[in-house]
Chains A and B, each alone.
Chain A
Amino acid sequence: MLRTLLRMRKPFTRSPWGDIAATRRRILGAAAGLAVFLPIAAFAAHGASPLKVVETTIVDAPPEKVWAVVSDFAHADWLPGVARIEASGDDVPDQARRRLIMADGGVIEELLTKRDAERMLLGVHREGDDVKRLPATNYTALITLRPAEGGKTQVEWKARFYRGYPNNDPPPELNDDVAIAAVTAMQRAYLAALKTKVEAK
């Protein structure tokens, strides 16, 4: 049961996670694994208008069980398209980082910005931007769990980001609508994967 709080203004058809040959996957995966684990520039240039997308779902499991999966920042291999994860920083906010080695050979690096077990709230900032993968920049997510009826859990995945083009008068492929549609689709996929992962346990 996904509920979009922000209306999608354009249909999103492109999958952010393309299929790729297994050979290339192995080669690129190995190359990424060899790369030195260095923090990259945390903040890219961006404009004046942050965007917000809020997606929620109900997971048929108690909050503690969902939190156990969501809060395991270093092992979130349930995220769609992820082949494996390299992590450092022991889940300490503003220190813990993870490299999502994608099945397509790409790499997404993320910083843990918040981890509040009491409020069941996790914050993640995407380090560096790749508008070919996600036509948005400075993506920051807040994932909040709340008890729902019948011992279930409401998971809210909300994000702050900017459009892919950092200045005014963006080209059509990097405007606000495209960024909102892409982030909406991505967060829906994340929540669906989380639901599948937790409910299968």
Chain B
Amino acid sequence: MPALVAGIHAKTMRCAEGKAFKHFALAWMAGTSPAMTARVFLSIVILAAPAIADEAFVTAQGADALSIVDLSKMQTVATLPIGGKPAGVAVSRDGARAFITSPEGKFLTVIDAASRTIEKRIPVEGGPLGVAVSPDGKRVYVADLYGRRLVEIDLAGGAQRSVGVGAMASGVAVAPDGKTIIVADRDDNALSLIDAATFSRVATIAVGKHPFGVTIDASGARAYSANVESDDVSVVNLASRKVVATLKCGSRPYTVALAKGRVFVANQHADSVSVFDAETLAPLQTLKVGEYPEGLAVSGDGARIYVANWFSNELWAVDAQTLKVLGKAETGDGPRAFGAFIRGTK
């Protein structure tokens, strides 16, 4: 059923009378009269496809699409054509929307996550890549890879403003209180610290070589950057704005996720995930995963991690406690899933 919704919607995107057709199609699927109002149709869609399980919104860059994976079944249940080589993703905290960056197409796609439909496309100059959402879901932060800037988009009014950051801005993370934003300035080997209220750059913090993915912990105390070229992770104390530890990882660490008091790091060349104790920072284990792991994210309840494997076109589920592989789902070609790609139910 959800796949059908997505399929029909994809057609409506190219259809001149798309809106009317979509309403007709949804009504037809629900077995009701097409004469009913749009408001009623919307509630039918929500009833027809409730979020009973966590979902993964996986950007499949080679396929130019978004693969939506039902994580209870570990199955791709919908594919949305996005265009512009989608790479970055951020799902809002309430699960209502997903935001997808298309660096080649120079736009951000806003997805209505429940109905799995494209709400709108917002042009973003340069090369939109890393993306994060404010905790209240009102603002989206997009790193422009080529323009040395972070763009803030006010979703209600559509206004954009930008702040200068370092060279090849990549990953973006927002602190849980929404007050601080971190950007990985890849080619500057540094993180930019942005004050969200004034939208100004208040500090730069030197980290390892070529930081790409950045993550902030649930308490907002620490940030972690995966440093691709120095094969390590920098642990940053956000209050003192200093690197407090460096964790040696496998070859080409790309992204970091935090779950069950542990730090997980996806290593692209090593086909592995390094696991550390978040308290002691001691290395615990190295897990073999699929080929060329990239995006890494945590389930809504914090019990599992999910890793997107770019070469083998798979999403793997791993138990964050036992570190056992729980399942694999096939995705579209070239899954990046760069960002907070899980739509949680808890």
Contacts and interface: CB of A to CB of B under 8 A. Distances in A.
Interface of A: 42-43, 45, 47-52, 93-94, 113-114, 123, 125, 140, 142, 158, 160, 167-168
A114 B251 CA distance: 10
Contacts of B276: none
Given A49-B85, A52-B62, A93-B251, 18 more contacts: A47-B145, A47-B146, A48-B87, A48-B103, A49-B87, A49-B103, A50-B310, A52-B310, A113-B251, A114-B271, A125-B269, A142-B291, A160-B292, A160-B311, A167-B146, A168-B104, A168-B126, A168-B146
B334 A52 contact: yes
A160 B310 contact: yes
Contacts of A42: 229
Contacts of A51: 62
Contact of B269 (A50, A113, A158): A113
B103 A168 contact: yes
Contacts of B87: 48-49
Interface string B211-244: 0000000000000000011000000000000000
5 contacts: A47-B146, A49-B87, A52-B62, A93-B251, A114-B271
Q: Is the interface of B mostly helix, strand, loop or mixed?
A: loop
A93 B62 CA distance: 28
Q: Which are the 4 A-B pairs with shortest beta-carbon distances?
A: A48-B103, A49-B85, A48-B129, A113-B269
B220 to A, nearest CB: 28
Contacts of B271: 114
A83 B96 CA distance: 59
Most B CB contacts (10 A, CB to CB) among A45, A48, A142, A158 go to A48
B334 to A, nearest CB: 6
Nearest to A170: B104
Interface string B101-128: 0011010000000000000000000110
Contacts of B269: 94, 113-114, 123, 125, 140
A156 to B, nearest CB: 11
A48 B127 contact: yes
Nearest to B187: A45
Nearest to B209: A43
Contacts of B127: 47-48, 167-168
B262 interface: no
